[in-house]
A and B are shown apart, each in its own frame.
Chain A
């Protein structure tokens, strides 16, 4: 494995690991706040138990997310020193604000986790909400920094020099809003489905049914609402990418040839040598419509982009298909669930709906990982789009492959530990909370 590929793999692994923990860390506090609210309003112990049980999950995920985030702030320099040397001062604004948001999150979490029966109950509840809000703010800020890599702004690039830096303009680059919106909703959908799925499984097994039903309902409502609105934000993102990064859109769609009334390609195997897609379903005009809101509009293909600036087509295309597929499946489950809530209450008693949720447990996170693969691989070969190539940013230190193996071992064992920890939490629900 050469150093460049090793560095990219290590970065992908670290980000892919961190994103799961940060999503859960920023969304779960809202679920917790709802359960906590019901407890304070109704006094039903089951809601207190749900809040406490979830807060232990949040503590585990937050700690893991915090350390993996700390690691990332160093890895940016360890792996991409040339990038950070120039980009740090330009896109650093959201990071410095994120420091504050993250700090407040940690403080609020201290209050929340250790504050039972110590404070005014509503103050205690409020600290839980602050955990969520500041977590969300952190997430949006970090995504804004990533958006800058896709849509560099706030500086002039002249003869290899980065001049007239304006950190505020860099933060509010053109991509920040669409990316932050898409990611925030994704976090709610993914976490909602993951949490709902686990509780659905427990209900199906007949363990602590009331406890798990309350938990399931809160998570499912959040997750399903997010999954239903997500395609809209996806549409905003797609139209945005079509204008800013035509190469990325072309790779997502494996769209080799520039044409009017371009077809939307569903599935298929991109054949990069012959510049076509085998075995795909083609919907004529739909790509033009999705990218530009007009069935006859021209969509730039990879043929208009110099070969050396092409992103890897197959990976980007597959990842995009996976993301959309998972999103559609979740939307379908969500429509069924809301129908059940409003029109067909008896469905809620039937196991098939819960089984669907149990199956859908990982879908949201698969979509999140696939979506980030699209964003990151689709930006290649650039680390700062159109300005700096990823290959020129990598550390001169040889032997990065060993670092990659080491971090792989660490993250794999850490993931195993977290799963083990959750398994034990869930298994002990009956004993810890005395519920039926």
Chain B
């Protein structure tokens, strides 16, 4: 039963990274789009994520609920020592969600739109940045529950090169996912080309940030290289991700777009797999070599059992409905634009 719960936890983090990530990425793209193209980008973006954006962000809630019900010690330790980045991330979530809704549902279109757009684009950048910082901090070994000063306990637990580079890496992954996703959402050739350029830009950014993550890990004595390349799973995953990336770009230059999304999704899945596999079941690595483990710090058996049943029951209800939702809005009916408002 414990492994069912852990699988759900991992799957919700993955789905949040993929779906929520593409969603954040759409806002990041807006931030990196020239003024004259912004309006068109926004339109494509809205018709692409409008109906499903709320659902994309539910995965975070599922993950957090699994954590606080099943692994309360992990949840409370992270809540205490990563209080500040969590708060910043929450502010980003509030700002982004409301700005996205307001800009669409404001009955009067005027200068206020400018404000909503700015808030949306900036928070689309900061939220995944801090999500990455939080994830990076969890495994960085900088969290020190015994710290005696405010700075050691609450600031340097997350403010260091490794976490910050993981944050930037997360942002570029989001941008990459969104660009690849949006290529398939438009029928206009030059639009498509523009998103392909964006994908290229974020792909390069991800490679650069990825290199920086390794550099920071080396500098701060985090055995990241060993986690990723020290085992067969990691090596195979990285190799297949690289191959699929080459395949993806080849397809894109040939103008074939059907496989792009699954390939991009596969690459990100492989990245998450390699970075979590090696130190599993330890999810938080503390200063001085201590750790918080999904197997040792799980709740009592009955709790885990009830949680597993709740998750299984939930998926029976959620997944078919979610697939039908995504499927239904893949095909655009005639006169769709007029109905959006």
Determine the chain B residues whose CB is within 8 A of the CB of A398 once the complex forms.
150
Interface contact A100-B328, CB-CB below 8 Å = no
Asked if A355 CB lies within 8 Å of chain B CBs, one says no
Interface contact A107-B299, CB-CB below 8 Å = no
Residue of A nearest to B341 (CB): A432
Interface contact A84-B72, CB-CB below 8 Å = yes
Asked if B76 CB lies within 8 Å of chain A CBs, one says yes
Residue of B nearest to A169 (CB): B302
Instruction: Pick from B46-54, B192-200, B262-270 the stretch touching chain A.
Output: B46-54
Size of B's binding interface in residues, CB under 8 A:
63
Asked if A71 CB lies within 8 Å of chain B CBs, one says yes
Q: How far apart are the CA atoms of A70 and B64 in the complex, in Å?
A: 9
Determine the chain A residues whose CB is within 8 A of the CB of B188 once the complex forms.
none
Interface contact A117-B328, CB-CB below 8 Å = no
Determine the chain B residues whose CB is within 8 A of the CB of A213 once the complex forms.
none
Interface contact B302-A74, CB-CB below 8 Å = no
Expressed in whole angstroms, the minimum distance between the Cβ of B133 and any Cβ of chain A is 15
Interface contact A95-B86, CB-CB below 8 Å = no
User: How many residue pairs, one in A and one in B, have C-beta atoms under 8 Å apart?
Assistant: 206
Interface contact A395-B83, CB-CB below 8 Å = yes
Determine the chain B residues whose CB is within 8 A of the CB of A157 once the complex forms.
none
Expressed in whole angstroms, the minimum distance between the Cβ of B308 and any Cβ of chain A is 10
Determine the chain A residues whose CB is within 8 A of the CB of B76 once the complex forms.
77, 81-82, 84-85, 88
Chain B 11-27, CB-CB to A under 8 Å as 1, else 0, gives 00000000000000000
Residue of A nearest to B313 (CB): A100
Q: How far apart are the CA atoms of A108 and B317 in the complex, in Å?
A: 12
Expressed in whole angstroms, the minimum distance between the Cβ of A238 and any Cβ of chain B is 32
Expressed in whole angstroms, the minimum distance between the Cβ of B298 and any Cβ of chain A is 9
Expressed in whole angstroms, the minimum distance between the Cβ of A79 and any Cβ of chain B is 8
Interface contact A81-B79, CB-CB below 8 Å = yes
Asked if B184 CB lies within 8 Å of chain A CBs, one says no
Our pick among B58, B106, B306, B339 for the contact of A421 (Cβ within 8 Å) is B106
Determine the chain A residues whose CB is within 8 A of the CB of B69 once the complex forms.
88-89, 92-93, 95-96
Interface contact B52-A417, CB-CB below 8 Å = no
Interface of A is mostly: helix
Q: How far apart are the CA atoms of A40 and B98 in the complex, in Å?
A: 32
Our pick among B72, B318, B328 for the contact of A111 (Cβ within 8 Å) is B328
Interface contact B51-A113, CB-CB below 8 Å = yes
Chain B 298-323, CB-CB to A under 8 Å as 1, else 0, gives 01101100110011011001100110
Q: How far apart are the CA atoms of A287 and B311 in the complex, in Å?
A: 45
Q: How far apart are the CA atoms of A318 and B104 in the complex, in Å?
A: 41
Determine the chain A residues whose CB is within 8 A of the CB of B322 once the complex forms.
103, 107
Interface contact B54-A66, CB-CB below 8 Å = yes
Determine the chain B residues whose CB is within 8 A of the CB of A403 once the complex forms.
87
Asked if B80 CB lies within 8 Å of chain A CBs, one says yes
Determine the chain A residues whose CB is within 8 A of the CB of B80 once the complex forms.
81, 395-397
Expressed in whole angstroms, the minimum distance between the Cβ of A254 and any Cβ of chain B is 37
Interface contact A85-B73, CB-CB below 8 Å = yes
Expressed in whole angstroms, the minimum distance between the Cβ of B158 and any Cβ of chain A is 13
Asked if B68 CB lies within 8 Å of chain A CBs, one says yes
Asked if B94 CB lies within 8 Å of chain A CBs, one says yes
Chain A 266-299, CB-CB to B under 8 Å as 1, else 0, gives 0000000000000000000000000000000000
Q: A74-B64, A84-B79 are in contact. Are A92 and B93 (CB under 8 A)?
A: no
Interface contact B307-A96, CB-CB below 8 Å = yes
Asked if A165 CB lies within 8 Å of chain B CBs, one says yes
Expressed in whole angstroms, the minimum distance between the Cβ of B316 and any Cβ of chain A is 9
Size of A's binding interface in residues, CB under 8 A:
71
Expressed in whole angstroms, the minimum distance between the Cβ of B109 and any Cβ of chain A is 10
Expressed in whole angstroms, the minimum distance between the Cβ of A16 and any Cβ of chain B is 16
Determine the chain B residues whose CB is within 8 A of the CB of A98 once the complex forms.
65
Interface contact A84-B310, CB-CB below 8 Å = no
Q: How far apart are the CA atoms of A116 and B91 in the complex, in Å?
A: 33
Determine the chain A residues whose CB is within 8 A of the CB of B107 once the complex forms.
56, 421, 424-425, 427-428, 432
Q: How far apart are the CA atoms of A86 and B310 in the complex, in Å?
A: 20
Asked if A348 CB lies within 8 Å of chain B CBs, one says no
Residue of B nearest to A91 (CB): B69
Interface contact B98-A89, CB-CB below 8 Å = no
Q: How far apart are the CA atoms of A165 and B328 in the complex, in Å?
A: 43
Interface contact A421-B105, CB-CB below 8 Å = yes
Expressed in whole angstroms, the minimum distance between the Cβ of A338 and any Cβ of chain B is 34
Interface contact B318-A414, CB-CB below 8 Å = no
Interface contact B333-A114, CB-CB below 8 Å = no
Q: How far apart are the CA atoms of A73 and B105 in the complex, in Å?
A: 26
Q: A77-B76, A396-B80, A421-B102 are in contact. Are A88 and B333 (CB under 8 A)?
A: no
Determine the chain A residues whose CB is within 8 A of the CB of B90 once the complex forms.
70-71, 74-75
Determine the chain B residues whose CB is within 8 A of the CB of A59 once the complex forms.
101, 105
Q: How far apart are the CA atoms of A98 and B317 in the complex, in Å?
A: 13
Expressed in whole angstroms, the minimum distance between the Cβ of A335 and any Cβ of chain B is 36
Q: A70-B90, A81-B79, A114-B50 are in contact. Are A417 and B318 (CB under 8 A)?
A: no
Q: How far apart are the CA atoms of A403 and B314 in the complex, in Å?
A: 34
Determine the chain A residues whose CB is within 8 A of the CB of B86 once the complex forms.
74, 78
Q: How far apart are the CA atoms of A421 and B107 in the complex, in Å?
A: 8
Interface contact A63-B61, CB-CB below 8 Å = no
Interface contact B299-A165, CB-CB below 8 Å = yes
Our pick among A90, A95, A99, A106 for the contact of B55 (Cβ within 8 Å) is A106
Residue of B nearest to A53 (CB): B107
Q: A113-B51, A414-B94 are in contact. Are A165 and B61 (CB under 8 A)?
A: no
Asked if A62 CB lies within 8 Å of chain B CBs, one says yes
CB neighbors of B among A106-132 (8 A) = 106-111, 113-119
Expressed in whole angstroms, the minimum distance between the Cβ of A149 and any Cβ of chain B is 15
Chain A 384-405, CB-CB to B under 8 Å as 1, else 0, gives 0000000000011111000100
Expressed in whole angstroms, the minimum distance between the Cβ of A253 and any Cβ of chain B is 36
Interface contact B303-A90, CB-CB below 8 Å = yes
Our pick among B93, B101, B300, B317 for the contact of A104 (Cβ within 8 Å) is B317
Our pick among A70, A88, A417 for the contact of B61 (Cβ within 8 Å) is A70
A-B contacts, 14 listed (Cβ < 8 Å): A67-B94, A73-B61, A89-B299, A93-B307, A97-B310, A99-B62, A111-B51, A117-B333, A165-B302, A167-B303, A397-B80, A398-B150, A417-B98, A425-B105
In the complex, besides A395-B79, A414-B98, 16 extra interface pairs with C-beta distance below 8 angstroms are: A70-B61, A74-B64, A74-B90, A81-B75, A81-B79, A84-B68, A87-B72, A88-B299, A96-B69, A103-B58, A108-B321, A109-B54, A111-B325, A114-B50, A114-B329, A398-B150
